[in-house]
Structure 1
Amino acid sequence: MISIKDIAKKAGVSISTVSYALNGNPKVTEETRMRILKIAQELNYVPNAAARTLKNRVSKIIGVYLSDFSGAFYGEVLQGMKEVLNKRGYDLIVCSGSYSHRWLPQRMIDGAIVLDHSFASEELLHLAGNGHKVVVLDRELNHPNVNQVLLDNKAGASLAIEFLIEKGHRKLYVVSGPKGSYDSRQRMQAVKQTVERHPEVECIEIEGNFDKESGEKAAEQIIGEYKEPAAVFCLNDEMAIGVYNTVMRANYRIGEHIHLIGFDNIELTQYTQPRLATIDYSKRKWGTLASEQVLKLIAGEAVEHERIYVTLVEGESVGKG
C-alpha cells in the first residue's frame, strides 16, 4: 500500500510537508500542495481512515448495535436514524457481535445506539465511564454519558390485555419473547399486573422468541388444547403472524375461534384478512430521537430521557368473547 513516505520520496519533500499538503494546511504553498496532490493521485494513494480517525478523534460515524437483523421491525427504525445522521454529516453503520464493541474505545465510531440485549450493561457502563457516548433503546442505565429512548412497553401490553378483556374474553394465552429481552420482560410485567386486577381471567404464558417460527409453535399448542374460543396476545407481530398462519391452516377462524392481537404494527399486519389488531407506535420517530440524542451527547448538550408512546389499533382479528 502506498504511504505518505512514498509520496514524500517522489516529491523530494519531507513527510510532514506531504501531511500538511494532504490536509490542506496553510504551512505549504498552493503550488507545493497541487504538486503533491498530483503525485498522490499518480501513485493511487488512499488515506488511512483509521489512522486519521485516531488522530482527529472524530470519525463522523455512529454505530447502531442490533441483536438480530431479521424480520420487518428494524427497517423504519434504521431509516429514522439515517435521516437525522445524514443531515448532520454523519454516517451510520449497523453492528452485531462482540468484536464490534471495540470500535468505541478505538474511536472508529463517535457514539453508539444500542438495541442488543447481548451487549452487557456492565460493558456499556464501563465505556460510558471512559467518556464514550451511548444511547440505549432496550434497558435502563444511569450514567451522564448514557441516554435512554425507551418504548412504553407496559402501556402497550396493558392496552392489549384490557382490550381483550373488554371484548369479553376470559381465557388468554400470552406468547412471550426471548428471556434476555427488556421489551419482553416489560410487556410481561404489565400483562401480569393487568390480569391480577381481573381474577376471573385465566392467563397462560407460552415462551416465544420474537420470530414467526415460535408463533407457529405456540399456535400448535393452543390448537391442541382448544375446547372453546380463546384470545392470544403475542408480544410482537412476527409471532402473531406465525399464530395467524397456523390457525388458518388448521381450519379454525381468526376472530371467531382464536382472537389474536400483536405488538409493533409492522406493515404486513395491514394486509391480513381479517385485519390483525396490534399495538402501534412510530418506529421512525424512535430512530430519529435516538440519533438526535446521541448527537447531543457528543456535542456536550443537556439531554433528558425520552419515551415512545403507543396506541391500540383495533382489528377484526379480535371479536367478542
Structure 2
Amino acid sequence: MVSIKDIAKKAGVSISTVSYALNGSPKVTEETTARILAIAKELNYVPNAAARTLKKRETKIIGAFLTNYSGAFYGQLLQGMLETLENNGYELIVCSGKQSHRFLPERMIDGAIILDQTFSSEELLNYADRGHKLVVLDRELDHPNISQVLLDNKAGATLAMDYLIERGHRKIYVVTGPKGSYDSDQRLKAVRQVIERHPHIDYTEIEGDFHKPSGERAAQQIIEKYDQPVAVFCLNDEMAIGMYNFLDKTDYKVGEHIHIIGFDNIEVSRYTRPRLATIEYSKRKWGSIASEHLLKLIAGEPVEPERIYVTLIPGESVQIVDGTVGS
C-alpha cells in the first residue's frame, strides 16, 4: 500500500510537507500542493483512515445500534438520523449484534445512538465513563455523556386504553412486547394503571414479541375463548397486522367481533381495511432529535433529555359497543 513516505520520496519533499498538502494546509504553496496531489493520484494513494482517526481523534461517523433490522419500523427513524447527520458533515452506519459493540471502545465511530437490547445499561455506563458520547432511545440512564430521547409510551398507552373504554369496551386483551423491552414495559405499566382505575374491566394479557406471528397466535387464542365482542390493544402495529392476517381467514371480523388498536402508525396500517386505530408519532423527528442530541454531546454543549409527543389516530377497527353478549 502506498504511504505518504512514498509520495514524499517521489516529490523530493518531507513527509510533513506531504501531510500538510494532503490536508489542504496553507503552510504549503499552491504549486507544491498541486504537484503532491498529482503524485498521490498517480500512485493511487488511499488515505489511512485509522491513522487519521488516531491523529484527529474523530471519524465523522456515527453508529446507530439496533436490536435487529426486521419489521417496518426503522426506515423513517434512520432517515431522520441520516438527514441531520449529513447536514452536519457526519455519516451514519447501522449496526446490530454484539460484535459491533467494539466500534465504541476501538473509536471507529465518534458516538452512538442506541436502540438495542443487546447492550446492557452497565456496558453503556462503562463506555460513558471512558468518554464515549451516547444517546439512548430505549432506556433511562443518568450520565453526563449520555442523553435520552424517549417516546412518551405511557401517554400513548393511556390514550389507547381510554379510547377503548370510552367506546364501551369492557372485555380487553393486551398483547405485550418482548420481555426486557423498555417501550413494551412502559406501555404495559400505563395499561395496568388504567385498569386499576377501571376494576370492572375484564382484562387479560397475552405475551407477544412485536412481530406479526405473535399477533396471529394472539388472535387464535382470543377466538378460541370468544363469547362476546372484545377489544385488543396490541403494543405495536406489527402484531396488530398479524391479528388482521389471522382473522381474515376466519368468520370473525375486525371492528365487529374483534376491535383492535395498535401503536406506531407504520405505513401499512394506513391501508388496512377497516383502518387500524393506532398511536402515532414522528419516527423521522425522533431520529433527527436523537442525532441533534448526540452532536451537541460531541461538541461539549449542554443537552436535556427529551420525549417524543404521541397522538391517537382513530380507526374503524374500533367501534362503539353496548357490552351485550353475543356472537
Does the alignment reach a TM-score above 0.5? yes
Question: What is the rounded CA distance, in whole Å, between the counterparts of 1:319 and 1:24 in structure 2?
Answer: 66
Q: CA deviation at 1:176?
A: 0.5
- Structure 1 residue 144 corresponds to structure 2 residue 144: yes
Question: What is the rounded CA distance, in whole Å, between the counterparts of 1:89 and 1:34 in structure 2?
Answer: 25
Match of residue 19 from structure 2: 19
Q: Would the aligned equivalents of 1:133 and 1:298 in 2 still touch at CA under 8 Å?
A: yes
Match of residue 189 from structure 1: 189
- Number of matched pairs: 321
Write the deviation string for residues 183-229 of structure 1: whole angstroms up to 9, x where unpaired.
00001111111111111111111111111111111111112221221
Residue identity opposite 1:11 in structure 2: A
Residue identity opposite 2:112 in structure 1: A
Question: What is the rounded CA distance, in whole Å, between the counterparts of 2:21 and 2:270 in structure 1?
Answer: 57
Match of residue 272 from structure 1: 272
Residue identity opposite 1:303 in structure 2: V
Write the deviation string for residues 3-33 of structure 1: whole angstroms up to 9, x where unpaired.
2222233333333332222222344333332
Question: What is the rounded CA distance, in whole Å, between the counterparts of 1:208 and 1:6 in structure 2?
Answer: 60
Q: Would the aligned equivalents of 1:145 and 1:297 in 2 still touch at CA under 8 Å?
A: yes
Question: What is the rounded CA distance, in whole Å, between the counterparts of 2:238 and 2:272 in structure 1?
Answer: 13
Q: CA deviation at 1:106?
A: 2.3
Q: CA deviation at 1:107?
A: 2.2
Q: How does 1:262-301 map to 2 (within 5 A)?
A: 262-301=262-301
Question: What is the rounded CA distance, in whole Å, between the counterparts of 2:308 and 2:14 in structure 1?
Answer: 56
Q: How does 1:156-235 map to 2 (within 5 A)?
A: 156-235=156-235
Match of residue 54 from structure 1: 54
Question: What is the rounded CA distance, in whole Å, between the counterparts of 1:239 and 1:279 in structure 2?
Answer: 14
Question: What is the rounded CA distance, in whole Å, between the counterparts of 1:136 and 1:164 in structure 2?
Answer: 31
Q: How does 1:85-96 map to 2 (within 5 A)?
A: 85-96=85-96
Residue identity opposite 2:224 in structure 1: G
Match of residue 305 from structure 1: 305
Q: CA deviation at 1:252?
A: 0.8
Residue identity opposite 1:301 in structure 2: E
When the two structures are superposed, what TM-score results if normalisation uses the length of structure 1? 0.96
Aligned-partner SS, 2:105: coil
Question: What is the rounded CA distance, in whole Å, between the counterparts of 2:143 and 2:271 in structure 1?
Answer: 43
Residue identity opposite 1:102 in structure 2: R
Q: Would the aligned equivalents of 1:54 and 1:108 in 2 still touch at CA under 8 Å?
A: no
Question: What is the rounded CA distance, in whole Å, between the counterparts of 2:51 and 2:99 in structure 1?
Answer: 19
Deviates more, 1:89-98 or 1:13-22: 13-22
Q: How does 1:55-94 map to 2 (within 5 A)?
A: 55-94=55-94
Question: What is the rounded CA distance, in whole Å, between the counterparts of 2:309 and 2:112 in structure 1?
Answer: 23
Q: Unaligned 5+ residue runs, structure 1?
A: none
When the two structures are superposed, what TM-score results if normalisation uses the length of structure 2? 0.95
Question: What is the rounded CA distance, in whole Å, between the counterparts of 1:160 and 1:179 in structure 2?
Answer: 21
Question: What is the rounded CA distance, in whole Å, between the counterparts of 1:38 and 1:84 in structure 2?
Answer: 34
Q: CA deviation at 1:233?
A: 0.6
Write the deviation string for residues 114-172 of structure 1: whole angstroms up to 9, x where unpaired.
11121111111111111111111110000011111110101111111111111111111
Q: Would the aligned equivalents of 1:54 and 1:106 in 2 still touch at CA under 8 Å?
A: no
Aligned-partner SS, 1:249: coil
Residue identity opposite 1:62 in structure 2: I
Q: CA RMSD in A?
A: 1.3
Question: What is the rounded CA distance, in whole Å, between the counterparts of 1:293 and 1:71 in structure 2?
Answer: 26
Deviates more, 1:78-87 or 1:11-20: 11-20
Q: CA deviation at 1:79?
A: 1.2
Q: How does 1:85-124 map to 2 (within 5 A)?
A: 85-124=85-124
Residue identity opposite 2:88 in structure 1: R
Q: CA deviation at 1:72?
A: 1.2
Match of residue 135 from structure 1: 135
